[in-house]
Chain A
Amino acid sequence: MRELCEQAVAAALGAGASYADARVVVRRAQVVGTRNRRVERLDDTETEGIGVRVLVDGAWGFACDRRLDEGGAEAAAHKAVAFAKAAPGGHVRTLAPLEPARGEFRTAVERDPFSVPVAEKVELCLRAEEALRHEDVKVTSASVRAQREHKVFVSSEGASTEQELVECGGGIDAMAARDGVTQIRSYPSAHGGSSSQSGWEFVEGLGLEREAPRVGEEAVALVRADVCPSGVTTVVIDAEQTALQVHESVGHPTELDRVYGSEAAYAGTSFLAPDDLGSLRYGSEHMNITADSTTPGGLGTFAFDDEGVPAGREPVVREGILSGFLSSRETAARIGSGSGGSMRADSWSRMPLVRMTNLHLEPGEGSLEELIAGVDEGVFLQTNKSWSIDDKRLNFQFGTQIAWEIKGGALGRMLRDATYTGQTPVFWGSLDAVAGPEEWRLHGLTNCGKGQPGQHAHVSHGAAPARFRNVQVGFRQ
């Protein structure tokens, strides 16, 4: 694989590129999904190929080839150069200086997920589903997934890295319906569960079967629950929804390519400007956000990103002040700060983009119960259900699967159809407490979309339950 990358880089330089890098990626992914006690998905996907990125007179070019041989490597290189020459740039693109990276990295795995018999995975899903069954539950589903990605990267600057990243994940859902009301409850997260960069031990540790009876019962209770009342109130948000809040309202706006407009036509831009760095008040003093591509178990953990930049840990928001951006070598050079480290592509056939790695809300102190005890009247919100945010990442609206009334510092009745909305800096400015390290959890999601052609990134967020004051809850009049 390394030789192919070297051939591709040499071919690109020979064709006129001033810079070239090549990535060979071989990926196997497996999904087992059951629905209403029958196997719905049993997919085993392998894909492999080489992607070559070049700079020619300041213009980028990218092309790929599925053939892992000399012909494929050279064809991709020549096509990338031809495309760059056909679409000349208007200015010189500079890459932040970088010591050529050399090294290897492998995910620490206790039990290789691809050594686990498929039948065992099916059985796990069916058992968990069985435990979800309940009167009024119309749909039960369970899924587990595994992925192994072997990646070699070589650049014309002398970088040469090899990494093997292994992911596993799983989740369960119960959907109940009664009298025209439909409600869903999930564990450990909505939208396909949660994933981690680790071996099958992560899935075994989720306890899907153990948690299923509670999930089914809550779905059934939700169809009989009262609708969450609208109003401005205090909200305590569980760690999973807080993680998504971080993703949407901190992660994306701090991607420096968005700040510079690269994503304007699709995913959007950012309310942040380059010169906001170090001065913009993003939130309250309780808000500390860190980008960390070294977090054990994180889906954004690696030794080197897809430009060969070594992994690291950097503050993005420190005590409420914007302190860093997520960047590439190109955008880091443009802002004159950092050296990138956030570039990732979702396969061999896509160009790397600035993506979140692992972005965490650092813990504060105390327990969830203590957060709730500090609320005279409010709502506790759990597990994402819907999500939307504007193109500059200012106005957001999230819905959660379940909510609980808080009265006098204690949880009260269950509520359904809860949503909350706000403006990013105002909302984070209303943060008055984050629970402590004992409540802090890592949440891995696999459906972060960006780019044209589209790419899915797998990212993780560590978060603990957090409390926000004066939040608009509900949208119904």
Chain B
Amino acid sequence: MSALDLAERALRAAEGDEALALVQSERSGMARFAGSEVHQPTLIENEVVELQIVRDGRLGIASGNRTDEEGLRTLAARACEAADSAPVDPDFAGLAPAAEPPAVEGYDEEAASLGAEDQARLAAAAIEASELDLYGFFTSGVTGLALASSTGLGVSQEMTDVAVLALAAVDGVSGYAEQTGWRAGDVDPAGAAAAAVEKARLTRGAVELEPGSYPAVLEPPAFAELLAYFSYDAFSAQGLLEERSYAFDKLGTKVFDERFSLADDALDPRGLPKAFDFEGTPKQRVELVENGVLSGVVWDRQSAKRAGDGRESTGHGPPSSLRHWGPLAFALSVAGGEADSPAQLAEVLGDGIYVTRLHYLSIVDPREGIVTGMTRDGTFRIRGGRIADPLVNLRFTVSVPQLLAELPGLTRDPVLLNHNAYYDERYPTGLLSPAVATARFDVTGVGSGPGV
């Protein structure tokens, strides 16, 4: 039975003025390895049904993974109880109307056909290509999202995703590489492992660095993660409406380097394409920053209603479990620049630091866009325009707007970075990001050295 068929079955079990059934399905495998050995292989197959029922202007939500008739009846009863217990919400935007989502790519038969033996084989390909101990995973999955509602909505999408993460490490050295995509051919596990080894070899003999402000090259994994943390508040309509976002009172203002343009674009086939959001609204490309000018944020139905200015959702409704975050930009896409490679960005800077990857970020101040975290698995000094001494992991505490205020260069071709840690139900998300050179990266401390 398809996810949409199941959603329609669940909808028939609902009793309310309006109702919406959402189905998320997953068939995935992950061969996780450490010390060049698969140690946590996980196969998952699941199907979750969520029912949203509206009774007398009150919304109740319940979900479960029992899909027989009794399971669906119980689910509907719990959603009804929730609805009957809620007060009337005058700001409730109602369920999404019927819509024709755009045709998008994002499904690959070959990726969908990968089974446990393939996942183990592709993990082994990475392990065998590494001269150092290898840590990471190969994973592939097929994810379905379908919505059916009493308002006439009936949309579904099947997505595939594949990813390899490679951390090559022994005592005192470590290097990192990752690849992700929606086609089986988008990733080359052996190639990722070789890149991680090459990076790791440069990290032996890491030295400390005096805290201070440095020009820096951020490789795509580092820049993308920093941008993602900044985006949770800065590019969400909820943060804007609640006056806690950096974007508050700055829309239409040039606040970043004019080389910096950013969109949220789930339709882009270079990313992990999505046709509609968790409310069933078709996805739109939203320009967030255009040549340094803060130009927009993303909206869902609830935030658009609260804005009260006739605004409509841009197709960024979150899953129910993340509703307290408001609409989320989960398909960030940074426009490329002129540089051929990160090495060329180092030449542009002449002197500074080079960062491969970040670790354990935390938002210190959402209004000012201050984020802290650590670098890891490939941090270097740049001297004379070239990568020089390896550095220990650095504590950074940066104002992202200050970091974006002067970008001497970006690489030409953005690459897709996985933005999914596979918690709860699988739903592939990723960011398209180039490497960037920034005039200011604030180092506020030093941590451990590279290696395991």
Near A by CB (< 8 A), chain B positions 346-401 give 359-367, 372-374, 376, 393, 395, 397
Residue of B whose beta carbon sits closest to that of A455: B423
Interface centre among B31, B40, B66, B323 (most CB of A within 10 A): B40
- Asked if B85 lies at the interface with its beta carbon under 8 angstroms from chain A, I say yes
- Say whether A261 contacts B452, CB under 8 Å: yes
Q: Contact flags (1/0) for A256-274 with B, using CB distance below 8 Å?
A: 0000111111101101000
Min Cβ gap A188→B in Å is 18
Q: For residue B81, which residues in chain A have a CB less than 8 angstroms away from its CB?
A: 44, 118
Q: Which of B41, B66, B91 contacts A38 (CB 8 A)?
A: B91
- The CA of A73 and the CA of B369, in the complex, are separated in Å by 49
- Say whether B448 contacts A117, CB under 8 Å: no
- Quick check: which of B119-127, B152-160, B254-262, B408-416 contacts chain A, the rest being far away? B119-127
Near A by CB (< 8 A), chain B positions 38-97 give 38-48, 59-66, 74-75, 78-79, 81-87, 89, 91
- Say whether B65 contacts A397, CB under 8 Å: no
- Asked if B165 lies at the interface with its beta carbon under 8 angstroms from chain A, I say yes
Q: For residue B243, which residues in chain A have a CB less than 8 angstroms away from its CB?
A: 138, 177, 182
Q: Which of B42, B116, B367, B395 contacts A86 (CB 8 A)?
A: B116
- Say whether A390 contacts B393, CB under 8 Å: yes
Q: For residue A40, which residues in chain B have a CB less than 8 angstroms away from its CB?
A: 323-324
Min Cβ gap B128→A in Å is 12
- Asked if B169 lies at the interface with its beta carbon under 8 angstroms from chain A, I say yes
- Asked if A305 lies at the interface with its beta carbon under 8 angstroms from chain B, I say no
- Asked if B29 lies at the interface with its beta carbon under 8 angstroms from chain A, I say yes
Interface centre among A43, A118, A138, A391 (most CB of B within 10 A): A391
- Quick check: which of A46-54, A97-105, A194-202, A296-304 contacts chain B, the rest being far away? A46-54
- Asked if A394 lies at the interface with its beta carbon under 8 angstroms from chain B, I say yes
- Say whether B137 contacts A265, CB under 8 Å: yes
Q: Which of B123, B324, B361, B393 contacts A33 (CB 8 A)?
A: B324
- Asked if A62 lies at the interface with its beta carbon under 8 angstroms from chain B, I say yes
- Asked if B244 lies at the interface with its beta carbon under 8 angstroms from chain A, I say yes
Q: Contact flags (1/0) for A225-249 with B, using CB distance below 8 Å?
A: 0000000000000000000000000
- Asked if A126 lies at the interface with its beta carbon under 8 angstroms from chain B, I say yes
- Quick check: which of A282-290, A405-413, A446-454 contacts chain B, the rest being far away? A446-454
- Say whether B376 contacts A39, CB under 8 Å: no
- Say whether A390 contacts B324, CB under 8 Å: no
- Say whether A90 contacts B36, CB under 8 Å: yes
- Quick check: which of A77-85, A161-169, A336-344, A432-440 contacts chain B, the rest being far away? A77-85
- Say whether A175 contacts B167, CB under 8 Å: no
- Asked if A180 lies at the interface with its beta carbon under 8 angstroms from chain B, I say yes
- Asked if B30 lies at the interface with its beta carbon under 8 angstroms from chain A, I say yes
- The CA of A180 and the CA of B248, in the complex, are separated in Å by 9
A to B contact number (C-beta, < 8 Å): 261
- Asked if A325 lies at the interface with its beta carbon under 8 angstroms from chain B, I say no
Q: Which of A86, A122, A475 contacts B444 (CB 8 A)?
A: A475
- Say whether A46 contacts B421, CB under 8 Å: no
Q: For residue B86, which residues in chain A have a CB less than 8 angstroms away from its CB?
A: 39, 42, 118, 122
Q: For residue A390, which residues in chain B have a CB less than 8 angstroms away from its CB?
A: 359-360, 374, 376, 393, 395, 447-448
Residue of A whose beta carbon sits closest to that of B423: A454
Interface centre among B28, B35, B85 (most CB of A within 10 A): B85
- Say whether A386 contacts B165, CB under 8 Å: no
- Say whether B82 contacts A42, CB under 8 Å: yes
Near B by CB (< 8 A), chain A positions 386-411 give 386-392, 394-395, 397, 399
- Say whether B395 contacts A119, CB under 8 Å: no
- Say whether A87 contacts B120, CB under 8 Å: yes
- The CA of A349 and the CA of B25, in the complex, are separated in Å by 13
Min Cβ gap B291→A in Å is 25
What total of chain B residues lie within 8 Å of the partner, measured CB to CB? 90
- Say whether B65 contacts A47, CB under 8 Å: yes
Min Cβ gap A415→B in Å is 14
- The CA of A423 and the CA of B320, in the complex, are separated in Å by 39
- Say whether A38 contacts B43, CB under 8 Å: no
Q: For residue B360, which residues in chain A have a CB less than 8 angstroms away from its CB?
A: 268, 388-391
Min Cβ gap A167→B in Å is 17
- The CA of A268 and the CA of B123, in the complex, are separated in Å by 20
- Asked if A361 lies at the interface with its beta carbon under 8 angstroms from chain B, I say no
Min Cβ gap B214→A in Å is 13
- Say whether A44 contacts B452, CB under 8 Å: no
Min Cβ gap A448→B in Å is 12
Min Cβ gap B51→A in Å is 10
Q: Which of A41, A83, A138, A177 contacts B43 (CB 8 A)?
A: A83
- The CA of A461 and the CA of B250, in the complex, are separated in Å by 42
Q: For residue A397, which residues in chain B have a CB less than 8 angstroms away from its CB?
A: 362, 372, 395, 397, 444-445
- Asked if A218 lies at the interface with its beta carbon under 8 angstroms from chain B, I say no
- Quick check: which of A6-14, A63-71, A149-157, A311-319 contacts chain B, the rest being far away? A63-71
Min Cβ gap B346→A in Å is 24
- Say whether A39 contacts B34, CB under 8 Å: no
- Say whether B47 contacts A89, CB under 8 Å: no
Chain A interface (Cβ < 8 Å from any Cβ of B): 33, 35, 38-49, 59-66, 79-80, 82-84, 86-87, 89-91, 117-119, 121-122, 126, 138-139, 141, 175, 177, 180-182, 260-266, 268-269, 271, 349-351, 353, 385-392, 394-395, 397, 399, 417, 419, 421, 423, 449, 451-456, 475
Chain B interface (Cβ < 8 Å from any Cβ of A): 28-32, 34-48, 59-66, 74-75, 78-79, 81-87, 89, 91, 116-117, 119-121, 123-124, 133, 135-137, 139, 165, 167, 169, 242-244, 320-321, 323-324, 359-367, 372-374, 376, 393, 395, 397, 421-424, 426, 444-448, 452
A-B contact pairs, 23 of them (CB 8 A): A42-B60, A43-B62, A43-B63, A46-B63, A46-B75, A47-B65, A60-B39, A83-B120, A86-B119, A87-B31, A89-B38, A90-B37, A141-B324, A182-B244, A264-B135, A265-B137, A269-B452, A391-B374, A391-B393, A391-B448, A395-B447, A397-B397, A453-B426
* The 7 nearest A-B residue pairs measured at CB: A395-B447, A118-B85, A453-B422, A454-B423, A86-B120, A390-B447, A87-B38
